[in-house]
Amino acid sequence: MSNAIDEADQVIAVSTSTQNDLVAFKEYIANRITMIPEAPVVTPTSLDSSCQLSIKKPYVLCVGTLEPRKNVVRLANAFLKSKLHEHQLIVAGQVGWGDVKLPQSERIRWLRPVSDAELAYLYRHAEFIAAPSLYEGFGLQIAEAMAFGKAILTSNCSSMPEVAGGAALYVDPNSTEQLIGALNSLGLESAKRGELEKIALNQASKLNWDDTCYRTLEVFFKALEE
């Protein structure tokens, strides 16, 4: 990373949070870094009626690679202590680093989606999305959840408030008690969940690949001119 930044004519950061992290790391790049957000990859257009997954409903969905920064073990332990006794927690993602092991419980299920259609199915049918990461460069799962009009439980740090805006219930990701409270709130209070769902689609509309591509081209042209 250090060498790549030193040699780059221009640097693109996917969030203001990441931009600030990079400038703190290499202060001299401040005048050649541009923030360009990502946009949802899996959206309702990814849905395929032939894709059907055998999942007990209702369920809370957490999308992400199994690695420490995703904070899935603390989320799972909080879920087991919550009042959502009729819910399942679905963790959808591949194996990452750190040898993360989820608690063994019939209420927790780990899936490894192999297609956008499977992920779209999971987003569509989830009651709400939990993304309490310790760190995210952008938080693609949050953008995708909003594209499906889902309420989000996420962290009050890093890039997550920047991406989710008013569509999320925020917690300190290091606090199991706050996670339990937020899970109970979104799982048991349909009015609260509905309030965030209304905001989600509007927030998602601010993120689109056409704008991202156009702004990225501008950075390429700027690098070529220099």
* 184 to 60, 64, 135, 145: CA distances (angstroms): 11, 22, 23, 19
Task: Express each pLDDT in 119-136 by its tens digit.
Answer: 999 999 999 999 999 999
**Partners of 109 in the β-ladder:** 90
- pLDDT-derived band at 202, boundaries 50, 70, 90: very high
3-state secondary structure at position 58: coil
Task: Express each pLDDT in 85-119 by its tens digit.
Answer: 999 999 999 999 999 999 999 999 999 988 999 99
CA distance 156 to 133: 9
CB atoms within 10 A of CB 83: 11
- Is 26 exposed, middle or buried, given 0-12, 13-18 or 19+ CB atoms closer than 10 A? middle
Return mean pLDDT, the chain: 96
Kindly state which CATH superfamily the domain 44-204 is placed in: Glycogen Phosphorylase B; (3.40.50.2000)
CA distance 203 to 184: 24
The CATH 3.40.50.2000 domain(s) of the chain lie at 44-204
Instruction: Tell the residue number behind the tokens 């950061």, with chain if given.
Output: 13
Could you please report the per-residue DSSP string of 21-89? Answer: HHHHH-GGGGGGEEE-----SS-GGG--TT------SSEEEEES-BSGGG-HHHHHHHHHHSS-TT-EE
CB 127 within 8 A of CB 196: no
Task: Express each pLDDT in 50-74 by its tens digit.
Answer: 998 989 889 999 999 999 999 999 9
Rounded to an integer, the average pLDDT of 194-206 is 96
The amino acid sitting at 50 is: S
Strand extents, DSSP E, 165-206 = 168-171
CA distance 223 to 135: 29
pLDDT at 187 over 90: yes
Task: Express each pLDDT in 22-58 by its tens digit.
Answer: 999 999 999 999 999 999 999 999 999 999 898 988 9
Q: Which two structure tokens, joined as six digits, stand for 69?
A: 């920064």
